[in-house]
Amino acid sequence: MYWREIRKSRHFENYHRGALAWSDVVRLIHIIKNKRKKGNKIEIEDSRFYILCELKGKILYVINVKTK
């Protein structure tokens, strides 16, 4: 999976912005190895966090961030 840029989606801004600092979200996207692609959606998770993203072109939009 390849993307040039990581951006916040409108849904993330409205509902999930306070869940985790944006710098931590970007760091987790890069360091977590367990990534699953389902269509244009990408699920990234480890034992503590779940991140749902959408790949449009070469831009990865973060939709949802949850702590387990």
pLDDT (0 to 100) of residue 12: 95
What sign does the dihedral 48-34-42-61 (CA atoms) show?
A: positive
What digits encode the pLDDT tens for the residues 37-60? 999 999 999 999 999 999 999 999
54 by DSSP, 3-state: which?
A: strand
Q: Where are the beta strands (DSSP E) in the chain?
A: 5-8, 35-38, 41-45, 49-56, 59-67
Which pLDDT band holds residue 13 (cuts at 50, 70, 90)?
very high
Confidence band, pLDDT 50/70/90 cuts, at residue 15: very high
Domain count, the chain: 1
Mapped onto helix, strand or coil, the DSSP state of residue 18 is: coil
The answer on pLDDT for 67 being more than 80 is yes
Domain hosting residue 31, numbered range: 5-67
- Residue 8 near residue 23 (C-beta atoms within 8 A): no
Angle at 56 between CA 37 and CA 25, to 5 degrees: 70
